[in-house]
Structure 1
Amino acid sequence: MKSLPINNLPMKNSTCHGSTGCSACPSLASRPEDGPLSTVDLAQAAALLGAHPETVRMKAKAGMLPGCKVGKRWKFSIVALQRYLAGEWVPRVVQGDQQEEVKKCRSINERPVQTGNTSCTPLAAERRYREALAQVTKSKRRNSTTG
């Protein structure tokens, strides 16, 4: 029986059939040719995941996929992508991100706090605003002769 490459990644071990769940085969992470830091580029990661490269890039940029940008190119760890496929990968938490606080509902009965320097009431301000936005129309001529 001929061994096939897993998702376009060549295999050197001819006795392994490439199943990640097979107990007779060594795990893909422990193969000597992969090493602890074997990486793939964007196109290879897309082939491994079975997705479009642009989708993989957007998910990696958003932190939904394990990967990092080195210079102008994306690099992905094969082991991390395999963990992602197995459902074992947890998205990273950016240091500045915090859980949003639950804010109390403001009462609609309370008057809003005035901001800025205003000398008119809210109703007067609204009236002035509407007057400023109103269309300016000229009065029609009444008695005009042509001739």
Structure 2
Amino acid sequence: MARIIAIANQKGGVGKTTTAVNLAASLAAAEQRTLLIDADPQGNATSGLGLQKEQVPLSLYDVLVGNSDLRSSRQTHVQFEKLDVVGATPDLAAAEVELVDRSDRDHVMREAVESLRPDYEFVIIDCPP
């Protein structure tokens, strides 16, 4: 069962993405099955691992609004055999507005992550400011 690590800070520009990408890459290089979830609409963790928007047909946005699940949205073996990524695109910024009327909105991300938790040793989440 995966350990879940969220890299979060209220301020931007403090190294959250750098920490998340390097931690995920280091864990994968150490042969730990790792999932990196880019939860920042800027998508810098996604692009930092060499994925362009065009290479991310399904993103975290699609998961949160119910168009997909994490398993279908992940890119596998990104830079390392043991590193998978759920990318972010700018449309992720709209997810909060689209979820405002859902009574279960506080649990959407948790349920999505729980569905893949048995597949990994670590889940790293790069949070927005």
- TM-score w.r.t. the length of structure 2 is 0.23
Looking at secondary structure, tell me which structure has more helix per residue: 2
Looking at secondary structure, tell me which structure has more strand per residue: 2
Greater RCO structure (CA 8 Å; 6+ sep) = 2
- TM-score w.r.t. the length of structure 1 is 0.21
Structure number with bigger Rg: 1
